[in-house]
């Protein structure tokens, strides 16, 4: 069985630590998280617009929805990269180490 290795920043002087997870387990978990993000986004969308009567709160909810959408997109991209073997480690390394 193959193992997916993705580098993540380490707090050690040795450089990087590696996350070793079977690709199927990684994909399954990421898909579960994406589904949850979509559910939360759907709930927040019900409260969208100026329905709060407070523009700061409405803007905060709007920003939260945008971050959830971006996170969902990034996770979906990582699933696609996992299912495309060529260059997977490079793509996932960039994804994991790049802050939003």
Model pLDDT, residue 89: 55
Q: What's the pLDDT score for residue 10? A: 47
Q: Which pLDDT value is given to residue 7?
A: 45
Per-residue pLDDT at 38 = 94
Q: Which two tokens stand for residue 73?
A: 């997109």
pLDDT at 34: 95
> CA angle at residue 65 from 25 to 51, to 5 degrees?
145
* pLDDT number for residue 2: 47
With a cut of 70, list the residues of the chain below it in pLDDT. Answer: 1-19, 48-52, 85-100
Bridge-partner residues for 8, per DSSP? 17
CA gap 94, 45 in Å, rounded: 30
């Amino acid at each position: 069985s193959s193992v997916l290795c993705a580098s993540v920043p380490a707090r050690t002087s040795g450089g990087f630590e590696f996350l070793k997870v079977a690709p199927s387990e990684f994909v399954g978990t990421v898909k579960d998280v994406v589904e949850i993000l979509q559910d939360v986004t759907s709930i927040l969308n019900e409260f969208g617009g100026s329905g709060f009567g407070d523009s700061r709160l409405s803007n905060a909810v709007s920003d939260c929805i945008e971050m959830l959408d971006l996170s969902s997109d990034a996770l979906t991209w990582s699933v696609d990269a996992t299912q495309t073997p060529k260059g997977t480690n490079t793509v996932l390394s960039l994804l994991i180490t790049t802050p939003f």
